[in-house]
């Protein structure tokens, strides 16, 4: 038991050391010294925002886009409203009348048995888009002032076909009317989500740095419209609720692995809300985990299986220690190997995400993370419906 556990966590340790080296070797991408921010430059960008019932959030994002340092003549904003039942559409229409940005509303007709509403919203909006570059984000996100300028400059310099950016969560969203205990629990959950999601951002970025992309996030994704059509867009997985980002990325990477790049710059970090309830967190993570069995890229599938195994073996070692099948010395050794390099890597990523004050919280997440990985790894194997944006999807 100890030998198997030791071998698996040792490989996991080496993997994290490799991630640390890759991350540190990659320089921060700075804005170009050249000026691409003029109305005659050839690169124009269309920002697509699929929304459904985002009345509480969409206005913040639209104001962020209004403040962009990129010339307003170089971008347009397409809000794809997917049959919202709240005031989302009215809010966007009212903003459209008074804004200086080119804002287009793509009002999608209701569709029965819509298994992939987000792909439908993006695909129909790309057909309306005039920009050579397509950037996607979500209606509950916030973006930095230099978000678009930095992306356009980076793509112009590198010639990337797909540019992935970091996504993180807001904090201190606890409702003040809750009790003190509820606020403490809510704050704990938010912090845990920031660190857990940061690990995905960091590992996905490192995979792109070595031209082996495995994950990205549609809340901060930019790609050439021509390449979207060249690889067939969402064809082949249009009936899956998730994957508007990663399946497309895998298609592009299969032909042009060197053209799929991560933009390591804090100015392009996109922030969104952490999940306030266990049910919403469960539905999203189950939706994400369910993509594993649909990947055509064996490297990505193998990595997912290995991460599951490394965390499962930790739970197995803990159980063996409790049952006296494993000594405390061996169990502690396994913990140290598993957590040490992982802690350093998470520290680097959390610092990049401007969340350095959460470094002290990383060990708490490391302790509960194996439970999370094993639970969702198993839950994803059972097909079934889940609620997303007020709809039942499968």
pLDDT, mean of each 10-residue run, the chain (394 residues): 82 96 90 49 88 95 97 97 92 96 94 76 96 96 97 96 96 63 81 92 96 94 98 80 80 96 97 77 64 62 84 89 86 92 97 96 92 76 57 55
Q: Would you state the pLDDT for residue 1?
A: 61
State the CB neighbour count (10 A cutoff) for residue 122. Answer: 28
- Write down the H helix ranges in the chain: 2-25, 58-66, 88-98, 117-128, 147-158, 180-209, 225-230, 246-255, 278-289, 298-322, 328-352, 362-379
Q: HEC profile for 12-24?
A: HHHHHHHHHHHHH
DSSP summary character for residue 36 = -
Taking only the tens place, the pLDDT of each residue in 360-381 is: 999 999 999 888 788 777 766 6
Beta pairing partners, 49: 79
Q: Going from the N-terminus, what domains does the chain have, and what CATH number goes with each?
A: 29-169+210-273 (3.90.550.10)
Residues 373, 308 contacting (CB under 8 angstroms): yes
Q: Would you state the pLDDT for residue 40?
A: 45
Q: HEC profile for 261-310?
A: EECCCHHHCEEECCCCCHHHHHHHHHHHHCCHHHCCCHHHHHHHHHHHHH
């Amino acid at each position: 038991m100890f030998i198997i556990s030791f071998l698996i966590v040792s490989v996991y340790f080496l993997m994290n050391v490799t991630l640390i080296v890759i991350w540190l070797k990659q320089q921060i991408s700075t804005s170009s010294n050249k000026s691409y921010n003029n109305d005659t430059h050839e690169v124009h960008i269309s920002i697509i925002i699929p929304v459904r019932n985002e009345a509480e959030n969409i206005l913040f994002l639209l104001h962020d886009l209004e403040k962009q340092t990129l010339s307003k003549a170089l971008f347009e904003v397409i809000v794809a409203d997917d049959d919202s039942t709240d005031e989302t559409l009215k809010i966007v229409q009212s903003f459209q009348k008074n804004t200086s940005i080119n804002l287009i509303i793509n009002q999608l007709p209701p569709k029965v048995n819509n298994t992939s509403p987000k792909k439908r919203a993006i695909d129909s909006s790309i057909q309306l888009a005039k920009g050579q570059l397509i950037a996607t984000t979500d209606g509950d996100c916030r973006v930095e002032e230099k978000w678009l300028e930095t992306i356009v400059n980076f793509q112009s310099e590198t010639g990337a076909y797909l540019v992935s950016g970091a996504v993180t969560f807001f904090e201190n969203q606890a409702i003040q009317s809750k009790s003190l205990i509820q606020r403490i629990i809510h704050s704990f959950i938010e912090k845990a989500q920031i660190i857990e999601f940061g690990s995905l951002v960091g590992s996905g970025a490192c995979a792109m740095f070595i031209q082996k992309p495995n994950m990205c996030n549609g809340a901060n994704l930019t790609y050439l419209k021509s390449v979207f059509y060249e690889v067939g867009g969402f064809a082949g997985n249009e009936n899956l609720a998730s994957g508007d980002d990663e399946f497309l990325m895998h298609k592009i990477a299969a032909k042009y692995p060197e053209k799929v790049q991560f933009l390591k710059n804090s100015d392009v970090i996109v922030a969104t809300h952490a999940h306030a309830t266990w049910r919403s967190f469960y539905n999203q993570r189950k939706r994400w985990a369910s993509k594993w069995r649909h990947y055509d890229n064996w490297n990505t599938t193998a990595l997912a299986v290995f991460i599951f195994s490394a965390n499962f073996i930790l739970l197995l070692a803990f159980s063996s220690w409790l049952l006296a099948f494993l000594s405390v010395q061996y169990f502690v050794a396994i913990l140290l190997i598993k957590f040490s390099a992982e802690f350093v890597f998470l520290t680097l990523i959390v610092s990049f995400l401007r969340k350095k004050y959460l470094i002290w919280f990383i060990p708490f997440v490391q302790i509960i993370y194996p439970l999370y990985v094993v639970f969702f790894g198993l839950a994803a194997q059972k097909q079934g419906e889940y609620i997303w944006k007020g709809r039942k999807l499968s």
